[in-house]
Structure 1
Amino acid sequence: MTMFHTKANILHRLPQVCFPASFGKAHSSRLVLGIETSCDETGAAVLDETGQILGESLHSQKEVHLRTGGIIPTVAQQLHRENIERVVHEALQRSNVDADQLSAVATTVKPGLALSLGIGLEFSQRFVRKHNKPFIPIHHMEAHALTVRMLQPVAFPFLVLLVSGGHSLLAVARGVDDFLLLGHTLDEAPGDTLDKVARRLSLIKHPQCSTLSGGQAIELLAKDGDRTRFRFRTPMGQTHNCCFSFAGLRNQVTMAIMKKEAEEGIRQGSLLSCVNDIAAATQHTIASHLAKRTHRAILFCKANSLLPERNPTLVLSGGVASNQYIRKALSIVTEMTGLHLLCPPAKFCTDNGVMIAWNGVERLREGKGILPPDVDVFYEPKAPLGADITAEVEAAAIRLPSVRMKILN
């Protein structure tokens, strides 16, 4: 497995630690507190070892960032600082669990916004030292990948597509901490692209979209749009790998918006008459790009026996996975290739404390990455997931058969 030599990899370098009985041996009452502050959601939850959610709390910063036109890291940091103690207290109170009853605390330490990660990690380290609890540092994308296993019995290995505001990647999940990275974003993430297009279209001024995130606004307006009115090129059509690129698409959309503004004689900041059509075309092109890269990943996995022959599974997770049009695009590919598509409910696709607590439960069960409370851990804003085999995927040069992406809203 590829090792990245950073401070956060203290997890990999630690010698075997002998824990007290409460740190290791399984018993039905083991409880994990999960804490999430990787971006703009302050989340906490308490789960038992079966995955039952005993109590949770979530503070969303969405409305604040909508007003400022995007996430400002210092603002996100301050909002985490103001809310984390209350959110953790609410999660414990709602679960009717005292800190002393916890078996461990799991917290996102990578990847994410540095200032946001720092608040969660600082709070968690104070907490575990005060209450003498084991600490489980969590990789945010690993948590997204494993959330589905909390909801239904999904055996390893399975293919996972993670798409969010900050990330997009394809990986084979072979174990709780064992991933093969097939593809990743080369520039910006799909959720970021959707948000930027929504801002350029000034959708916050649209009467139906004033309280929606950029991705939600695009999805809503696209339902009444004609995607064929604007023909955007699907990115990386001649590059035979599983990586993603969305910056070029955003430039195409921006040029189309500028052209229509000139035609309609309006300035930037005013609503175009064709916003629904631009939204539909943008959403379709993003969905097509995700579907094509995933199709190639499936063919690569089949050629290299990386997935089981019986009931192979694709898990779709992350905030953008809530988009129903994108789910339909992926379902076309999975039906064609014989995979079973699984996606957590929308509330578990977005960032939350539940997924972090569940990742902690999975690691606690297997005794992986469990640290004593006095070990210093460092956050890591950029952190790859698993062993990177993207070069092998590209070297395979798999060409895709033609697939008609006919998706009804």
Structure 2
Amino acid sequence: MFWVQFFSRHASVQKILAISSVTRRPSKSVKHCRSVCLRSIFFNSVKYYPTKLVLGIETSCDDTAAAVVDDTGKILGEALHSQNEVHLKTGGIIPPVAQQLHRENIERIVKETLCVSGISLDELSAVATTVKPGLALSLGVGLEYSLKLVDKYKKPFIPIHHMEAHALTIRLINQVEFPFLVLLISGGHCILVVAQGVSDFLLLGQSVDIAPGDMLDKVARRLSLTKHPECCKMSGGKAIEHLAQQGNRLHYELRAPMRHHRNCNFSFSGLCFNATRIIMQKEKEEGLQEGHLLSCVTDIAAAVQHAVALHIVQRTHRAILFCIKSGILSQTNATLVISGGVASNQYIRRALQIVTDATNFNLLCPPPRLCTDNGVMIAWNGIERMRAGLGVLHSTDGIRYEPKASLGIDISEQVGEVAIKVPSLEVSLNELATINL
């Protein structure tokens, strides 16, 4: 009777109890069925229903994603709807279009996630949702939907900083202890931070203009790579990476920017301008109008990718040296984590490996599917915050989304004041450029 009372809320138990109550003396088959059901539910509950279960919802940009993660780091279920093909046709993300697509798909994605995970909304410990930073219209859809859920099912709500989630995703799959250095590179961000704890970051540097993913997308659009037979369904960054493998970056010179600024900030707008200038010159030489494919697209792609990689490497190298010199990180067992959509670029990863090998750092990166925007990282960040007792809200009054939001305490001026000169790794990087990735 104890187990019956203990599990009486479970739907399967209720069905069995209903069957057995039909007659005053249940048959042996009914008794056996009831016993097996209760034992099965007990053992499945022990195995699959740990203390904490968090539903993560992500709508910061153009992907509608959700996932359920438990407090052991197990991904119980996830789903994602990508808007990539729609935005490729329009030449970029149009916020109202992204908003509408989020609205059309968010309920389906959450239901699919819960179905795959075998978890009901009643069984969740909390709902975690991206509230900053990102596209305002997109963030609004995720927040509005989530607040309705937590209000209806009386669940705690955990507002998530999108970049914090990217930074901590590595701890889902690796035993990485704080502190560690993080490079976040994506279509909307490029930042270097030291993760000292959950929600405890030191900002060393960030892009002063556009992000590397945005720059690569702009160059890909200017090259009309959606018309290339091998790249018609690829994002701009993926198309550049793909074609760069076939090109020779030495045919065009694109110098890394900010070479005389001894800080850890980034700038990609100048690179974008110089790449566009080269494209216009080649169009003139080949007698082509804008919108037609150049014969040298592979070489331009290779030059652009190398310049981006070199710029990222130089700033990251300085960040590593600053952290060691200032004592923020110990060179023993020190780790560099790279995440974000651009971290999926294998050429950039290999370039950063050269830096970490030279400085005796460990280089870690989540698998590509967890580098791009996803619901798993949001749910995991929710688990991390629940463990740390940070930002778990039982009242959502006054909660708002924030399209712009910094990450951590900004010490970038201190980095610039130290003005560390970075040793040249040009020879190693030149060797990298000759490797067919």
TM bracket (short chain): over 0.9
How many Å apart are 1:152 and its aligned residue?
A: 1.0
> For 2:274 and 2:52, how far apart are their aligned partners in 1?
52
Q: Distance in 1 between matches of 2:202 and 2:51?
A: 33
Equivalent residues in 2 for 1:100-249 (5 A)? 100-249=122-271
Query: Distance between the aligned counterparts of 2:335 and 2:329, measured in 1?
Result: 8
TM superposition shift of 1:28: 3.1
Unaligned runs of 5+ in 1: 1-26
- The residue that corresponds to 2:387 in the other structure is 365
Residue deviations 1:290-317, cap 9 Å, x none?
0000000000000011113321000000
Higher helix share: 2
Secondary structure at 1:38 match in 2: coil
Query: What is the match of residue 415 of structure 2?
Result: 393
Which amino acid is 2:133 matched to? Answer: P
Which of 293, 298, 307 in structure 2 is aligned with 1:276? 298
Deviation of the 1:29 alpha carbon: 2.8
Instruction: Name segments (4+ residues, structure 1) moved above 4 Å.
Output: none
1:303 to 2:325 alignment: yes
Match of 1:33 in 2: 55
* 1:58-73 paired onto structure 2 within 5 Å: 58-73=80-95
Paired with 1:229 and 1:309, the residues of 2 have a C-alpha distance of: 38
Post-superposition Cα deviations, 1:96-141, rounded to whole Å, max 9, x if no partner, equal 1110100000000000000000000010111100100000000000
Larger RCO (alpha carbons 8 Å, 6+ apart): 1
Distance (whole Å) between structure 2 residues aligned to residue 308 and residue 123 of structure 1: 43
Asked if 1 retains the 8 angstrom alpha-carbon contact of 2:331 and 2:361, the reply is no
2:285 maps to amino acid: E
Which residue of structure 2 aligns with residue 332 of structure 1?
A: 354
> Is the CA contact (8 Å cut-off) linking 2:57 and 2:142 kept in structure 1?
yes
1:339-369 deviation line (CA, Å, top 9, x unaligned): 0000000000000000000000000111100
Return the alpha-carbon distance in structure 2 between the equivalents of residues 39 and 271 of structure 1. Answer: 29
2:314 counterpart residue number: 292
5 Å matches for 1:7-22?
Answer: none
| Shift of residue 403, structure 1, vs aligned partner | 1.0
Distance 2:102 2:247 in 1: 37
**Deviations 1:57-83 (Å, cap 9, x if unpaired)?**
100000000010000000000000100
Structure 2 CA distance for aligned equivalents of residues 374 and 246 of structure 1: 38
Out of 351, 354, 359, the position equivalent to 2:373 is 351
Cα distance per residue 1:271-293 (max 9 Å; x no partner) = 00000000000000000000000
Q: Report the TM-score when normalising by structure 2.
A: 0.87
What SS does the corresponding residue of 1:174 show, helix, strand or coil? strand
> How far, CA to CA, are the matches of 1:128 and 1:335 in structure 2?
47
**Is the Cα contact below 8 Å between 1:125 and 1:373 reproduced in 2?**
no
Please say if residues 128 and 373 of structure 1, whose CA atoms lie closer than 8 Å, have aligned partners that are also in contact.
no
Deviates more, 1:375-384 or 1:186-195: 375-384
Distance 1:313 1:28 in 2: 30
Residue deviations 1:367-396 (CA, integer Å, cap 9, x gap): 100001443311001100000000000111
2:65 partner SS: strand
Whether the aligned pair in 1 keeps the contact of 2:54 and 2:127 (CA below 8 Å) is yes
Q: Report percent identity of matched pairs.
A: 64
**Shift of the alpha carbon at 1:402?**
1.3
Identify which range, 380-389 or 396-405, moves more after superposition: 396-405
Residue 384 of structure 2 aligns with an amino acid whose one-letter code is E
Q: Please give the TM-score of this superposition, normalised by the length of structure 1.
A: 0.93
Q: How far apart, in 1, do the equivalents of 2:104 and 2:72 lie?
A: 32
Q: Determine the C-alpha separation between the residues in 2 that align with 1:95 and 1:375.
A: 30
How many Å apart are 1:401 and its aligned residue?
Answer: 1.1
Partners of 2:424 and 2:172 in 1: how far apart?
Answer: 36
Aligned twin of 2:10 = none
CA RMSD, Structure 1 to Structure 2 (Å): 0.8
Q: Distance in 2 between matches of 1:310 and 1:337?
A: 10
Secondary structure of the 1:371 match is coil
Alignment-mate amino acid for residue 359 of structure 1? N
Q: Cα offset for 1:243? A: 0.5
Query: 2: distance between equivalents of 1:316 and 1:53?
Result: 21
Output one character per residue of 1:165-217: Cα deviation in whole Å (capped at 9) or x when no partner. 00000000000110000000100000000000000000000000000000000
Kindly provide the amino acid, as one letter, of the partner of residue 368 in structure 1: L
Amino acid at match of 1:206: H
Any conservation in 2 of the 1:133–1:373 contact (CA below 8 Å)? Answer: no
8 Å CA contact 1:157, 1:308 repeated in 2: no
- Give the structure 2 partner of residue 263 of structure 1: 285
* 2:196 maps to amino acid: R
